Structure 1
Amino acid sequence: MKAMILAAGLGKRMRPLTDHCPKPLLPVAGKPLIVHHLERLKRAGIDQVVINVSYRGEQIIKALGDGHAHGVNIQWSREATPLETGGGILHALPLLGENPFLLINGDVWCDHLPDVGALGKDDLAHLVLVDNPGHHPDGDFALRGNRVYQGPAPRLTFAGISLIRPALVANHPAGAFALAPLLKHAIDSQRVSGEHTAQHWVDVGTPERLAELDTHLQDRRHPQ
């Protein structure tokens, strides 16, 4: 299975840190945030990685190259302007191929990855869900068994980690578009499964949360 890391965003919420550095290269516990993803993928046995880039993309490409230094093979999907999540995936499909792939938002951190066999044969997506953080108390989706629903509380938060079948986006017109409406349509068609993890997860969306993650990882590396 291949993995795709979404790394084409502008990082507006991270300013001023991202004024001159793309968010995936911001350091966390001594290494760029995106390198944590590459190392985790390698440990999970996934060494074929597609990364989409746009804002300051050449900095990311220069920093990671072909991925050899991290034990993976990277293919780059360049976007002249950010195509949002759905458009970015569609643009990268020639690199991803026809099989399901693991999708990771470049600006999250999590100890957990789904099993590559978790995606059902008739499902278009499998979502990893986490407990609702303080900055997103209402959550996104309900989970009953291993099925995802758009339902009333209690809801969980989408972790930005999923297994995706290319058919989810393949028939959409090219250009910039969000993935969320396509996911919600698939959910309503009962074609999305999910799982809940209690593993540590962070939406690294602000300088404050970046600093908190850095402290967490440093403390874990050097326990008192």
Structure 2
Amino acid sequence: MRAMILAAGKGERMRPLTLHTPKPLVPVGGQPLIEYHVRALARAGFRELVINHAWLGQQIEDYLGDGARFGVHITYSAEGEPLETGGGIFRALPLLGEQPFLVVNGDIWSDYDFAALRRPLVGQAHLVLVDNPAHHSSGDFRLAGRQVSNAQVGQPSLTYSGIAVLAPALFADCQAGAFKLAPLLRQAMAAGQVSGERFAGRWVDVGTHERLAEVERQLAAEA
């Protein structure tokens, strides 16, 4: 199974840190955020990685190189301009092959064990969900057993963690360009094609200076 790290965002809420540094290279605990993912994927047995980038993307290539020093091989999908999550994945499909692949947002921090996803995919997508953080209290989806569906008002909900396994077939009707992933997932949910799991470990969406500081505190506590 191949894996893709999404690293094309501009990180505008984290300025001035991201004015001259792409958000995935912002250091946390003395190590760039994206390096945690690369090392965790390598430990989990992934050897072929694809990374998309746009804003200051050459810096990501210069830092990670071909991945050899991490025990992986990295291929890059340069977008020039951001294509959003769905469009970025669609553009990279030729690099990801014909089998289901893991995808992880480059701007999250977690101790999730990616090896747990190295299993056959049933349906078109499998999502890792987490308890709703304070900044996203309404959540995204509902998990009933292993089945994921849209969350309705008043129903218990969970938040999409930014970690998933996707089948290329999810993008069968897509066209090149910028588009979001969520509508594709909701369409697949309506067809009963999306499974999921709840992850109760450590997870932070590192989208602001405050949440970056939260990760720093967690890492300092275990040092």
TM-score, with structure 1 as normaliser: 0.95
Among 150, 158, 161, which residue is 2:160 paired with? 158
Among 116, 119, 139, which residue is 1:117 paired with? 119
Distance across 2 between alignment mates of 1:124 and 1:216: 34
Q: Could you say which residue in structure 2 is the equivalent of 1:82?
A: 82
Deviation at 1:115, TM superposition (A): 2.3
Q: Which amino acid aligns with 1:35?
A: E
Distance across 2 between alignment mates of 1:151 and 1:79: 32
Distance across 1 between alignment mates of 2:125 and 2:147: 11
Q: Which amino acid aligns with 2:201?
A: Q
Give identity over the alignment, percent.
Answer: 56
In structure 2, do the counterparts of structure 1 residues 183 and 118 end up closer, same or farther at CA, with 3 Å as the change threshold? same
Deviation at 1:167, TM superposition (A): 1.1
Q: Could you say which residue in structure 2 is the equivalent of 1:191?
A: 193
CA contact (8 A) 1:141 1:158 kept: yes
1:136-151 aligned within 5 A: 136-151=136-151
Q: Could you say which residue in structure 1 is the equivalent of 2:207?
A: 205
Q: Could you say which residue in structure 2 is the equivalent of 1:178?
A: 180
Q: Which amino acid aligns with 1:60?
A: I
The runs of 4+ residues in structure 1 deviating greater than 4 Å are: none
Look up the SS of the partner of 2:82 in the other structure: coil
Deviation at 1:70, TM superposition (A): 1.3
Q: Does 1:4 align with 2:1?
A: no
Distance across 1 between alignment mates of 2:13 and 2:165: 26
- The alignment covers a number of residue pairs equal to 219
CA contact (8 A) 2:143 2:158 kept: yes
Look up the SS of the partner of 2:117 in the other structure: coil
Look up the SS of the partner of 2:195 in the other structure: strand
Deviation at 1:119, TM superposition (A): 2.0
Q: Deviations over 1:161-205 (max 9, x none)?
A: 000001111330101111110111011111000000101100000
Q: Does 1:53 align with 2:53?
A: yes
Q: Could you say which residue in structure 2 is the equivalent of 1:101?
A: 101
Distance across 2 between alignment mates of 1:37 and 1:179: 21
Q: Deviations over 1:81-103 (max 9, x none)?
A: 11111110111011001000000
- Give unpaired runs (5+ residues) of structure 2: none
Distance across 2 between alignment mates of 1:141 and 1:171: 23
Alpha carbon RMSD of aligned pairs, Å? 1.0
Greater Cα shift, 18-27 or 148-157: 148-157
CA contact (8 A) 2:102 2:117 kept: no
CA contact (8 A) 1:118 1:126 kept: no
TM-score, with structure 2 as normaliser: 0.96
Greater Cα shift, 196-205 or 208-217: 208-217
